[in-house]
Amino acid sequence: MCGIIGYIGKRNAIPVLINGLKRLEYRGYDSAGIAFFSGNKISVRRCAGKIKDLESAIKGEKLRSVAGLGHTRWATHGRPSEDNAHPHRAGGTVLVHNGIIENYFELKEDLRKKGHVFKSETDTEVISHLIHSFLQKGLSFEDAMREALKLLEGSYAIGVINEKEPGRMLAVKKDSPLVLGLGDGEFFIASDIPAFLKYTRDVIILENNELVSITNKGVSISALNTGKPVRREATRITWSPTMAEKGGYRHFMLKEIYEQPRAVADTIRGRVFPERGEVNLEEFSLRESDLRKIGKVFLIACGTSWHAALVGKYMIEDMARVPCEVDIASEFRYRKPIVPKDSFVIVITQSGETADTIAAQREARKLGARVLTICNVVGSTSSREADSVFYTHSGPEIGVASTKAFTTQLIGLYLFSIALAKAKGGIASGQIKELFSELLQLPEKIKKALQINDQVLKIAKKFCYTRDFLYLGRGINYPIALEGALKLKEISYIHAEGYPAGEMKHGPIALIDNSMPVLALAPDDQVLEKILSNMEEVNSRGGKVIAVTTEGVKKVFAHASDILFMPKTNSYLTPVIFAIPMHLLAYHMAVLKKCNVDQPRNLAKSVTVE
Ligand code: M6R
């Protein structure tokens, strides 16, 4: 996720900006840049790569400025490169942005027709051109900013400086984080508090649609639309810098679990046209005619991404009635798969760099299949080599255990399934609208699901010293049982297995006794009664059942000692909601066992070797 730092004050801005960017490195980035005043003119320095490369680029120059902006870019539109790095300039307007401008394409076309020339592939550059165009019409800096923002759809945190008013910086946010630091005769904006914690601990967390105007005399905040002044009290931060990087969370994994409402909302943003009942196929770099030709789908991935693939099979076959095969990448590459001519391959990978997945992707292309990758990292090997890419906009995932990347992969698969079903004529537009309506409610439902955290902690305290764990699920939630078990193994080192609940009686039932907890995923769906029977099979052998079910399902009380009630959604999206307690349970068990949650033993975030 991009990182922003802005400074106005008594110090030389350059080292403040560089230091701020270093404190934001944990957010992940692929390029960096700064903008600062040289007299009344603004200079920009940018580079692809790391902040140390940026430092080397300016080394030896005696740069001084009382104000400036800095940015680390996590690519969403356009590959990582110097041209795409921020800050972006149009005339004397220079800005940095974190977020996604959904309607940038239309805005860019319109500005192009009016003679604007673009130098990058980013969505951000349109913002600087819009502000510049209003300044050219004679508006003040602040009014130009307000008018430009009226035209934007999407999410943003923006910092802007302008050669017309060198002593002023403007900033605004909508659905992307931005905080304000209040020092003694100096002021900061940043995506996150650690960027300026060295200089001040007095912070205002900005709300959506608040416009901030900063000079070296002070800060004024006003409502973006009305211009009415807004009074906000500063908060004094007591966290350590390391705590602050994690947004106050103890671990990156927990932070990432809690980021899911935002990650899912960003992944949906701009990808659906609810009024038309259509998926935005441009975001998949696909046409409906491509989809119509698909006779078979292969889903290929490793680890948690493979669990997403298994859920994807249920979605695609159920909605689009197109046969799917799911492969673990390391198996696909050596098993001599039969890939018919009309096959379509979906590769799923958070990092886009997993060696087995890349090899399988290459093999699939060699066999003549068209490949779509569902990937979280722009410019990664998988995204560069695929025919089409769907980026999950979950932001960088730092904890080794994949959480928000998984749930956003499921969103990609949900959208693909709807698009395929529509292309194949297998779904009515009313049905699509219902599927969209449920999808758009999902971020709020995830927020609600996260409220079970304290109950999960209690369950974790009860079971954290157990040696083995069994996870049961059925249908579309069987992969969530696998995911729960994988997470527990990975970070708490407790042996766990995921099973399709109906399969328990064919073997694992022999393990059941009073020291073997069994977690059963029992959403309110067509197989609820079946899984209740499986829970009874456990009870009657002295096992302990933890049930995860849908709110309002009272029947479960008779079958489980611990119960977690989750918000109701449609059956395709239950895996997203039911993954949340799986991730929280593994997290709490690992913390209670004093394990290294973010960097579990023997594991790497990205497995780039075979
Ligand atoms: O980056 P990828 O999605 O290709 O990674 C695949 C697996 O290595 C990954 O999901 C792994 O299983 C995670 N550590 C699970 O939490």
Tens-place pLDDT, residues 245-258: 787 899 999 999 99
The pLDDT assigned to 244 comes to 67
Q: Is the pLDDT of residue 313 over 90?
A: yes
Mean pLDDT across the chain? 93
Contact 67, 161 (CB under 8 A): yes
HEC readout, 550-601: ECCCHHHHHCCCEEEEECCCCHHHHHHHHHHHHHHHHHHHHHHCCCCCCCCC
Q: How far is the CA of 402 from the centre of ligand 1 (A)?
A: 6
* CATH class label, 3-237: alpha beta
Catalytic pick among 164, 424, 448, 605: 605
Taking CA atoms only, the protein residue closest to ligand 1 atom 7 is 303
Query: Residue 610 — very low, low, confident or very high, per pLDDT cuts 50/70/90?
Result: low
The pLDDT assigned to 372 comes to 97
Q: How far is the CA of 352 from the centre of ligand 1 (A)?
A: 10
Q: Is the pLDDT of residue 368 over 90?
A: yes
- Topology classification of domain 252-427: Rossmann fold (3.40.50)
* Strand arrangement, sheet containing 495-500: 495-500, 468-473, 517-522, 544-550, 562-566
The pLDDT assigned to 84 comes to 94
Catalytic pick among 2, 302, 324, 375: 2
Render pLDDT for 499-513 as a digit per residue (tens, 0 to 9). Answer: 999 999 999 999 999
Compute φ and ψ for 4, nearest 5 degrees.
Answer: -120, 140
Compute φ and ψ for 403, nearest 5 degrees.
Answer: -130, -75
- For a pocket test of ligand 1, which of 302, 375, 410 has the largest count of ligand atoms closer than 8 A to its C-beta? 302
Rg (the chain; Cα; Å): 25
By DSSP bridging, strand 3-9 and strand 186-190 are antiparallel
Contact 1, 377 (CB under 8 A): no
How far apart (Å, rounded) are the C-alpha atoms in residues 379 and 286?
19
Q: Is the pLDDT of residue 409 over 90?
A: yes
Which of 52-61, 180-189, 205-214, 297-306 comes out lowest in average pLDDT? 52-61
Residue 56: how many other CB atoms lie within 10 Å: 12
Q: Which atom of ligand 1 is nearest to the CA of 304?
A: 10
Q: How far is the CA of 143 from the centre of ligand 1 (A)?
A: 47
Q: How far is the CA of 65 from the centre of ligand 1 (A)?
A: 44
Q: Which atom of ligand 1 is nearest to the CA of 382?
A: 4
Contact 103, 154 (CB under 8 A): yes
Region 554-577: mean pLDDT is 96
Contacts of 308 (CB under 8 A, 6+ apart): 301, 348, 374, 406, 409, 410, 413, 479
Compute φ and ψ for 369, nearest 5 degrees.
Answer: -85, 150
Q: Name the 3-class secondary structure at 278.
A: strand
How far apart (Å, rounded) are the C-alpha atoms in residues 464 and 455?
14
- For a pocket test of ligand 1, which of 346, 358, 402 has the largest count of ligand atoms closer than 8 A to its C-beta? 402
- For a pocket test of ligand 1, which of 251, 253, 490, 607 has the largest count of ligand atoms closer than 8 A to its C-beta? 607
Q: Which atom of ligand 1 is nearest to the CA of 607?
A: 8
Q: How far is the CA of 348 from the centre of ligand 1 (A)?
A: 10
Residues in the chain: 610
The residue with tokens 């969505």 is: 123
Q: Is the pLDDT of residue 528 over 90?
A: yes
Residue 558: how many other CB atoms lie within 10 Å: 10
Q: Which atom of ligand 1 is nearest to the CA of 302?
A: 6
Q: Which atom of ligand 1 is nearest to the CA of 603?
A: 14
* Strand arrangement, sheet containing 235-236: 41-48, 31-38, 67-73, 3-9, 186-190, 179-182, 202-205, 235-236
Q: How far is the CA of 605 from the centre of ligand 1 (A)?
A: 7
Taking CA atoms only, the protein residue closest to ligand 1 atom 4 is 349
Q: How far is the CA of 336 from the centre of ligand 1 (A)?
A: 24
Q: How far is the CA of 400 from the centre of ligand 1 (A)?
A: 8
Contacts of 146 (CB under 8 A, 6+ apart): 211, 224, 225, 227
Render pLDDT for 16-69 as a digit per residue (tens, 0 to 9). Answer: 999 999 988 877 788 999 999 988 899 999 999 889 999 998 888 888 899 999
User: To which CATH superfamily is domain 451-592 assigned?
Assistant: Glucose-6-phosphate isomerase like protein; domain 1 (3.40.50.10490)
Q: Is the pLDDT of residue 544 over 80?
A: yes
Catalytic residue status for 605: yes
Pocket of ligand 1 (CB under 6 A): 302-305, 349-351, 354, 357, 400-402, 490, 606-607
Query: Residue 380 — very low, low, confident or very high, per pLDDT cuts 50/70/90?
Result: confident
Question: What does the domain layout of the chain look like in residue ranges?
Answer: 3-237, 252-427, 451-592
Region 358-387: mean pLDDT is 92
DSSP E strands: which ranges in 239-282? 272-273, 278-279
Query: Residue 199 — very low, low, confident or very high, per pLDDT cuts 50/70/90?
Result: very high
Q: Residue 530 is encoded by which pair of tokens? A: 């079946």
How far apart (Å, rounded) are the C-alpha atoms in residues 86 and 80?
11
Taking CA atoms only, the protein residue closest to ligand 1 atom 12 is 303
Taking CA atoms only, the protein residue closest to ligand 1 atom 9 is 303
Q: Is the pLDDT of residue 242 over 80?
A: no
- For a pocket test of ligand 1, which of 354, 408, 482, 602 has the largest count of ligand atoms closer than 8 A to its C-beta? 354
Q: Is the pLDDT of residue 606 over 80?
A: no
Q: Which atom of ligand 1 is nearest to the CA of 303?
A: 12
Taking CA atoms only, the protein residue closest to ligand 1 atom 8 is 303
Catalytic residue status for 375: no
Q: Which atom of ligand 1 is nearest to the CA of 401?
A: 16
The pLDDT assigned to 243 comes to 66
**Do the domains spanning 252-427 and 451-592 agree at the CATH topology level?**
yes
Q: How far is the CA of 310 from the centre of ligand 1 (A)?
A: 14
